[in-house]
Amino acid sequence: MKYALLIYDTPDAWSDRDDAEAAEVMSRYAAVGSDPMTVGGEQLELPHTATTVRIKDGAELITDGPFVESKEYLGGFYLIAAPDLDAAMAVARRLPAASEGGAIEIRPLVERAP
């Protein structure tokens, strides 16, 4: 089964780190990226770089910035192929955001027949 590990960080998650601390945290993310269960993933730019598109009653509204203000933001994701939810949770626990004020949302991908 494939799972998306959605990494939610807090706005100040990186502001208080010196270069050595940031490098150590990034090495932990890189270790998950090299795990054989990891199929893919990417880091996202900060929320203020987002563009939101809405279409209602045929009218288009384009907004700079995220859809909603929140105390956490989606900072990146990994796609993993794990045998079950327990294995996916074991990978999620290794991601720094899980233990440093953020959260990891684990969401199964929809499986489609070829």
User: How confident is the model over 65-110, as pLDDT tens digits?
Assistant: 766 667 788 999 999 999 999 999 999 999 999 998 899 999 999 9
List, for residues 27-64, the tens digit of each pLDDT value: 999 999 999 999 999 999 988 888 988 899 999 988 88
CATH topology assigned to domain 2-108: Alpha-Beta Plaits (3.30.70)
Task: Please indicate, yes or no, whether the overall pTM of this predicted structure exceeds 0.85.
Answer: yes
Measure Cα distances from 70 to 8, 9, 34 in Å: 11, 11, 30
Write the single-letter amino acid at 79.
L
Within 8 A by CB and 6+ apart from 4, the residues are 77, 78, 79, 105, 106, 107, 108, 109
Q: How far is residue 70's CA from residue 10's CA, in Å, rounded to a whole number?
A: 9
